Amino acid sequence: MLFTSLHFIILALVTFGLYYLPALRRWQVFSLIVASLTFYAYNQLNLLWLLLLSVTINIVASYYVIYGPTGSQKLVATLGVIGNLAILCFFKYSPLFARTFLSIDAGVGAWLLMLPLPIGISFFTFQGISLVVDTYRNRHVDAYRSLIARNMAKHAETVLFFKAFFPQLVSGPIVKAHDFLPQIKPKYINAVRWEYCFRTLVLGYFLKTVIADNLKDHTYIVTYPYFENLSSLNLIVLLFGYSMQIFADFAGYSLIALGLAALFGYRFPINFNFPYVSSSFSDFWRRWHISLSSFLREYLYIPLGGNRHGKARTYFNLMLTMVLGGLWHGAAWSYAIWGLAHGLALAVERFLTDKGLFLMHSRVARILKGLWVFSFVTLAWLLFKLPNFSHVIAYLRAIAVNTTKPIDSLAIMLILMYAFPVVAYHLHYLLGTRLPAVQLNWARWDYVAYGLLIFMIITNSGSEGTFIYFQF
């Protein structure tokens, strides 16, 4: 069920109406659980059991870390993390294992290749790991222990709600247990941040329906073999358009998730902070998919040793973290290569910074570094659009050799037209940070701008399409 579909809007409105009825206040969490399971089962009813199995593993593990026999906590937590990863690896990576090591024409290989990919499995698995690890780390902290109810049924309700809450269930943000659990308490309609919800939802729907959904109707041609006869300029503009599309699609989803959560009284972490203004790769990962990068840092990079064991180990930890982060995105080696590319970029950047070679702070230097980071990031998106690595090579070869092919000016104009709002969105942020007075003057026109966004949503939305990150 897409956030942009009529069925979802009806579900959200009915749930919202029941949620704030005073007579049903004690059932608020239950009403959101029912809505969330309905939301998930709408498209994958046959896989609802898998979500519930994942939830059950985390209910049992987190409960017995607190209330189990003394001395068993580490074992229970370890088994809980293994259980989460086992589900993720089996359903997401078995087809990759089959294609790499087995015959896919018959037998086990063919069976593994037919396994369904549950929507959002990467997201709800990471949230489960967060719950188990946070509970283990804070098992002696009274404020956290109080969040794990002694009553197993009550604890089960809490964990099911935490993992299944529909705004973040299938594409995040990845909400950590230590951020979410303290928020579970009665909510009141007079506490809703209406202006925040309005701004966030309108901008999110605009980015998704007007920008991403229109761009997808042009960037679909970045698939083999359709791109082979396009001019080099068209291929470059298409790649730029896809870079704008993937941002608008995922940032749009995240904003909608934040707005929906706020309507029900919950705060989610910001997931995107104008990533295309970054002048370094480390800055990019502080701005892009923030909930994933912070999760990887907190639950993988730091436990691996972070930067505490020398420079060589730091570079290795960076690259390993990014490779695993790449594989988290998809069951294809191209995602691992994408992660490795970003890991190498981060490691090289840190090495140059350590040597004092990446510390140029002039305006021209920042612009040049920003263009380099954006170009690298945009080129790397090819590995998302074309999971078959040979097709990536074919695309790059076409850019190099198709210089004499005729240019399709109309296609270029349409892509640039729909990409322009994303560029303007980032420029508005840059001007606001550099010239606060300009930002203040623009603020008085905010509602005119949001009115225009609503008009564009109504009149110029593209054809409905799934969110790109649903596949992860």
Distance of alpha carbon 449 from alpha carbon 206, whole angstroms? 12
| Domain residue ranges of the chain, discontinuous segments joined by + | 6-188, 194-280+358-471
Q: State pLDDT tens for residues 227-239.
A: 999 999 999 999 9
pLDDT in tens for each of the 472 residues of the chain? 788 888 999 999 999 999 999 999 999 999 999 999 999 999 889 999 999 999 999 999 999 999 999 889 999 999 999 999 999 999 999 988 888 888 888 788 888 888 888 888 999 999 999 999 999 999 999 999 999 999 999 999 999 999 999 999 888 799 999 999 999 999 999 999 999 999 999 999 999 999 999 999 999 999 888 999 999 999 999 999 999 999 999 999 999 999 999 999 999 999 999 999 999 999 999 999 999 999 999 999 999 988 888 888 888 999 999 999 999 988 888 999 999 999 999 999 888 887 776 666 677 888 888 999 999 999 999 998 998 889 999 999 999 999 999 999 999 999 999 999 999 999 988 887 766 655 556 666 788 889 999 999 999 988 887 777 666 6
pLDDT above 70 as % of the chain: 95
Given this model, what pLDDT does residue 59 score? 97
Counted residue by residue, the chain has a size of 472
Q: State pLDDT tens for residues 356-398.
A: 766 666 778 888 889 999 999 999 999 989 988 899 999 999 9
Given this model, what pLDDT does residue 102 score? 85
Which position among 155, 178, 218, 329 bears the catalytic label?
329
| 289 a catalytic residue | no
In whole angstroms, what separates CA 88 from the centre of its chain? 16
Distance of alpha carbon 10 from alpha carbon 4, whole angstroms? 11
Given this model, what pLDDT does residue 436 score? 63
CA distances to 267, 304, 305, 312 from 308, in Å: 33, 9, 6, 10
**0.85 surpassed by pTM:** yes
